[in-house]
Amino acid sequence: MIYLKTDEEIELMRESNLLVAKTLGELARHITPGISTLELDKIAESFIRDHKGIPGFLNYQGFPNTLCTSVNEQVVHGIPNKNPLKEGDVVSVDCGALLNGFYGDSAYTFCVGDVSADVKELLNATKESLYKGIEQAVDGSRLGNIGYAIQEYTESRGYSVVREMVGHGIGKQLHESPEVPNYGRRGNGMKLKDGMVIAIEPMINLGKRNIVQERDGWTIRTTDKKVSAHFEHTVAIRKEKADILSSFKFVEEVLNLQSEK
């Protein structure tokens, strides 16, 4: 069942996604070598609750934390822990919040200190592929067009697309129909309609696309142990152009200030 959102509901979802965006911006200030992902998790939980939200992932299907923090070869669903982040690591921070009865969901992959050029290029290509996918998220387009755009952009640069993990519809539930793959064929799949809201989240690997689940039952990593990147926006399908409800503005304001120092 796909739930089309009213204009009023989309505005409520914009607020919940804005809270997620501001939470990621707050975390950007703290992501430096030596901090642990568990410390980041506590900062995120406090920030969300202080702004009258509820952490969207905490206890979701038994997940134990507010954030999914996936380091280096971890793709998604990493559980925050006490291990300090190291210079040269990358960490995908996936965050969800419930506000006004609707979920927000967004992810950003951060560099920890100075990161190698090939990994930076992977991150840039993954983020760019997200926007390529979003360009296809308009009324009358097909679901396969989103995946095709992401796949074509990243594979042409020598990267691989994770197939088993996908984006999703979102609204009053964190995960709703439809599933949104990051690969596909143009012109295939469900027709997109004005009022649909979906989370688009390319997961792109430096090496092969194969993944495995760790023994913790949550963490997904690449089988070849090469780095993976992950970026996510929540978007509303509209007539002319997708409406991006989440934002990287707060993250990138912090990162730009840090780079100027």
CB-based contacts of 149-153 (< 8 A; 24+ apart in sequence): 150/182, 150/183, 150/200, 150/202, 151/182, 151/183, 151/184, 153/125, 153/128, 153/129
Fold (topology level) of 7-260: Creatine Amidinohydrolase (3.90.230)
Residues of the chain with pLDDT below 70 are: none
Quote the pTM value. Answer: 0.97
Tens digits of residue pLDDT in 50-76? 999 999 999 999 999 999 999 999 999
Q: How much is the pLDDT for 1?
A: 87
Sign of CA dihedral 7, 167, 205, 41: positive
